[in-house]
Chains A and B, each alone.
Chain A
Amino acid sequence: MKRWWPAWVGAPRLDPVLLVLLLLISGFGLVVLYSASGQDMAVVNRQAIRLGFGLLAMLVISQVPPRVLRAWTPWLYGFGVAMLLATLVVGVGRSTHRWLDLGLLRFQPSEMMKLAVPMMVAWYLHSRVLPPSVKSTAVTLAILLIPTLLIYRQPDLGTALLVATSGVFTLYLAGLSWRVLLGFAGLATAAAPVLWLVMKEYQRDRVRTFLNPEADPLGHGWNIIQSKIAVGSGGLTGKGWLNGTQSNLEFIPERHTDFILAVLSEEFGLIGVSVLMLVYLMVIARGLYIATIARDTGSRLLAGSLSLTLFVYVLVNGGMVSGVLPVVGVPLPLISYGGTAAVTLLAGFGMMMSIYGHRKFIK
């Protein structure tokens, strides 16, 4: 193949498999979004531009060698924590302080931390002896707890838990003993009642609603009930694209953001959901494969943890929409409407591609 780009750029380092899978999901996402937005092409265009921006970011990052990325990691992490502190002081947004208005674009620092935390943990563990020592484990926990607590203060319980999870996954992949991991799990279970005490009232309502949505069908339970109706009424093959009544008649709240999976399930049925889950699984599998062929420890841990995090997104969102998990603000990766999440995610995949491109036995 003849090169049309300057020689100094070098051969593009992209994983075609991952790229195709991501484009498949994004494309499907835009199709669903068109229906979920009430056939508003402007919304679809806006999201397409964001995805394009994300793909560009992915392309650029994929060309940066992992060691360079690693060199930036502490700065990125430090910047993220500083921004989180800033949002506590000057944040904007409805009742919560999640957004930072940077003039041109509104920026959600907590979203960035979803990348920065696993990167930082991987950076830290890169040069440590694995499985991690007690000291390494303690430092790692500190690295992930600082942003977690700051995000929780915003308050954004969902993102806080996801950020913490991404750190824990890195520890898991680093080989932290099962006993310690189980110990953490036990601790978390024991901490649940404490968590209940420190939770805000609206968060408690969400848990109550999750446990019994029919208690307040027109109030707090509305989202879950309508979402379940949408999913259930989709059946095996769905009502067909643009024919979802629950979504088109606006019974599903947040139908183009957090609950877009309900729209998808209603219009494309069990088959649509299964296909989507299969593609996600393939992305995760590909991510884990890239991790296993990574050149060094840090890259391995980062690629592995990003893959596992993607799974958490899918599971939590899928569980929320189908009513088996409480409603937390977790979008469906690459499908839900929203800029920051898509860009962050694709940036993460950019790093994965970089790891792929700079793998052990590169040709």
Chain B
Amino acid sequence: MISYKGHRAIKDERDERRLFEHRAWVGFILIVLCILALLVRYVWLQIFAFDSFSTRSENNRVAVRPVVPNRGIIYDRRGRVIAENRPAYRLEIIPEKVPGKLPGLEALLDELSGLIVLDENDRNAFHKSRGNYRVFDSVPLKFNLSEREVARFAVNRHRFQGVDVVPYLSRYYPYGELLTHILGYTSRLDADDISSVDEGNYRGTRTIGKIGIEKFREKELHGVSGFERVETNVRGRVLKVLERQNAIPGTDLVLSIDVAVQQAAWDALGDRPGSVVAIDPADGSVIALVSKPAYDPNAFVGGISQQDYRDILSAPGRPLFNRALNGGYEPGSTLKPFVGLAGLELGLVTPETRVFSNGKFYIEGYNRPYRDWKDTGHGWVNIVSALEQSVNTYFYQLAMNLGIDRMHDYLEQFGFGSPTGIDVPGEGKGLLPSREWKRAVHAQPWYPGETVIAGIGQGFNVVTPLQLANAVSSLVNGGTRYSPRLVYAVKSTDAERAKRIRAPVELQVPVSDPQNWQTILDGMDLVVNGLRGTARSVAVGAHFRTGGKTGTAQVYQLAAGKKDKQKEVAEHLRDHAWFIAFAPVEAPRIAIAVVVEHGGGGSTAAAPVARATIDVWLDQELEQELKP
């Protein structure tokens, strides 16, 4: 071994060469060892860690993207499109790609608001929904961009990293406010919605049904998401589609609503708040369900601005309130046919039983009078003429004979006091009072006077227009109480034909004598067609014979629970007008309930609305039948 042994005085070429050769050999061996060590590293990476790195490389390369299903189309009974999908553009941001974290994002939004209309509400909604997405997902900022906005953004796109205009299908309701209270609307998916749906199926979905049919049938309308395995480069640009599992489009729905009938009812209500519900007594399908005023659902689809929402909230008549499903009104005299039927069926009266009306009715031992609407009274009346002229005394007496509990139990069969079970969310249940109820809720005993006024649908009674319409339907079809249905048929993509949805029967009201039922219908026939009927105007010029019953719901202070005596009162304290009807009398094809808020008398305000609605329906039905 040659090593450094002090300094030599002269160069020794041979010695130097030997020294060099030694150093070169040592160096080469070290090099070989180092290269081998490096190769060991490569062996570890490429052989032992191959699986793991192979997976990571694959994950880099392949992205799985959801394929959003097209939302189901909704049609009305006659095949008119009432909810459809239209091509639109939305602006989306991938927060991760925006430089500068949150301040950068805010600055970006500031800059974007110079190009597109972007208010505080859009920004808040964007920030709120950011939490639902993964950082590398794109989050919608603004829906339904106008063409100008799309063009303006396209020109300036290079300035905005991580922002993109995305084409999509936007929900559109061609009939606007006319059907809002039935269809509801879809709007931006938020945190609450996410928890209620299958997240995997909604990965690419940006909107969801918020109320109405859109919400109730969300699962079917939405469809099933597909996916796409795509190869992307480092910037996320898709280079090719490796595999595609198509989405299954949402189910199309056919509603039993007839837009023409709905429109007729809507128009007939005019400017007054109110509600019309029409049901086909043959199958429990809902023909019209109007709640007025309403609002344009299309405003909500793309995300409504705060100002617009405030405008809707503060608009007169509370447009957001669904009167048809949730409006609680005193039924007034519209309850009389049901009370009358209870009397007949339970054998307390016969069609021939007569009562004398002198304008005032007293309970034995009390001296408070209960009045007829006619001060002088109606004289001797039986059940039919009592219905025709809406004679209170007859029903005061009958109610006393029935007693509140028997009355409650009988009327309950027609669905009063409980939700009808219609296929949209948010239905009210009204109130059908009983001794038990009063004890439980008010901790008070039942007073006889309360029975008396319950006989004419006053006091504690509360019904919704839908409940009343459904009760009329059950009354005229011989006691079959359906759970009414808005969805008439569904058509899934793979199905060749639409599948008919039938309203389930909630209850078959027992019939002890069909003649009793006919008697009540006769009385209602006379309301319209009798000499002294309270709604004779309905019959004028009609192609069909209509039966009905007027009613008046007294407006009173809910908080105090006190009656407000009918005097000269301001518009907003005036009584609500009721009219229930069915037609044709011989074989009813429609059962209807109309309430006009603060309309005054049922015959003047509500009955014409019912007539207008029935006309359109029956004319159409007849036309259909005449067709070969």
- Contact in complex: B16, A175 (CB < 8 Å): yes
Q: Beyond A232-B46, A234-B46, A292-B24, is A130–B16 a contact (Cβ under 8 Å)?
A: yes
The residue on A at minimum CB distance from B35 is A277
| Cross-chain pair count, CB within 8 angstroms | 156
Interface centre among B2, B52, B61 (most CB of A within 10 A): B61
Scan B20-53; emit 1 where CB is below 8 A from any A CB, else 0.
Answer: 1101100110011011001101110111011011
- Cβ distance A330 to chain B, nearest Cβ, rounded Å: 14
Give, as a whole number of angstroms, the nearest-CB distance from A18 to chain B: 16
Picked from A173, A180, A246, A249, the residue with its CB within 8 Å of the CB of B27 is A173
Question: A34 near B: Cβ within 8 Å?
Answer: no
Q: Is A155 an interface residue (CB 8 A)?
A: no
Q: Which of A131, A175, A228, A281 contacts B32 (CB 8 A)?
A: A281
Which of A107-115, A200-208, A317-325 contacts the other chain? A317-325
Given the contacts A129-B8, A308-B27, A249 and B20 also touching, CB distance less than 8 Å = no
Q: Is the CB of B41 within 8 A of A322?
A: yes
The contact of A249 among B16, B49, B233, by CB within 8 Å, is B233
Asked if A175 contacts B21 (CB within 8 A), the reply is no
- Is residue A326 within 8 Å, beta carbon to beta carbon, of the partner chain? no
**A301 to B2 alpha-carbon distance, docked (Å):** 18
Q: How large is the interface on B (under 10, 10 to 19, 20 to 34, 35 or more residues)?
A: 35 or more
CB distance from B160 to the nearest CB of A (A): 20
Q: B31: which of A129, A131, A172, A284 is its contact (CB, 8 Å)?
A: A284
**In the complex, A324→B40 CA distance in Å?**
11
Does chain B have a CB within 8 A of A178? Answer: yes
A contact residues around B43 at 8 Å (CB) = 270
Q: Is A245 an interface residue (CB 8 A)?
A: yes
| Residue of B11, B42, B232 with highest tally of chain A CB at under 10 A | B42
Main secondary structure, interface of A, reads helix
**B622 in the interface, Cβ–Cβ < 8 Å?**
no
B559 within 8 A of A: no
Tell me, rounded to whole Å, the shortest Cβ–Cβ distance linking A28 to chain B. 17
Q: Is A260 an interface residue (CB 8 A)?
A: no
Interface residue B17 (Cβ < 8 Å from any Cβ of A): yes
CB–CB B47/A249 < 8 A = no
Q: A304 CA to B27 CA in the complex, in Å? A: 10
**Residues of chain B contacted by A246 (CB below 8 angstroms):** 57, 60-61
Say whether A269 faces chain B, with CB atoms less than 8 Å apart: yes
| Residue from A128, A174, A231 within 8 A of B42 (CB atoms) | A231
- Shortest beta-carbon distance, A219 to chain B, in Å? 12
**B441 at the binding interface (Cβ < 8 Å):** no
Q: Which of B128-181 contact A (CB under 8 A)?
A: none
B425 to chain A, nearest CB (A): 44
Query: Is A257 positioned at the interface, with any CB of B under 8 Å from its CB?
Result: no
Q: Is B562 an interface residue when CB atoms closer than 8 A count as contact?
A: no
Q: What residues on B are CB-neighbors of A129 within 8 Å? A: 7-11
Bound CA span A304–B21, Å:
10
A232 touching B4 in the complex, CB below 8 Å, given contacts A172-B23, A250-B235, A304-B20: no
A231 to B53, CA, bound (A): 8
Indicate if the CB atoms of A235 and B54 lie closer than 8 Å: yes
Chain B proximity of A91: nearest CB distance (Å): 29
Chain B residues with CB under 8 A of A229: 53, 56-57, 60
| B3: interface (CB < 8 Å) | yes
Chain A residues positioned under 8 Å from B24 (CB to CB):
173, 288, 291-292, 304
Q: A130-B19, A175-B23, A246-B60 are in contact. Are A232 and B53 (CB under 8 A)?
A: yes
Besides A173-B27, A234-B46, 5 new A-B residue pairs in contact (Cβ under 8 A), listed by A number: A175-B16, A178-B3, A229-B53, A274-B39, A300-B17
Listed from nearest, the 8 A-B pairs whose CB atoms lie closest are: A232-B53, A177-B4, A233-B57, A232-B45, A249-B233, A175-B19, A250-B234, A270-B46
B residues with a Cβ closer than 8 A to A are 2-4, 7-11, 13, 16-17, 19-21, 23-24, 27-28, 31-32, 34-35, 38-39, 41-43, 45-47, 49-50, 52-54, 56-58, 60-61, 231-235, 239
7 CB-based A-B contacts, threshold 8 Å: A177-B4, A179-B4, A229-B53, A229-B60, A235-B54, A265-B45, A292-B20
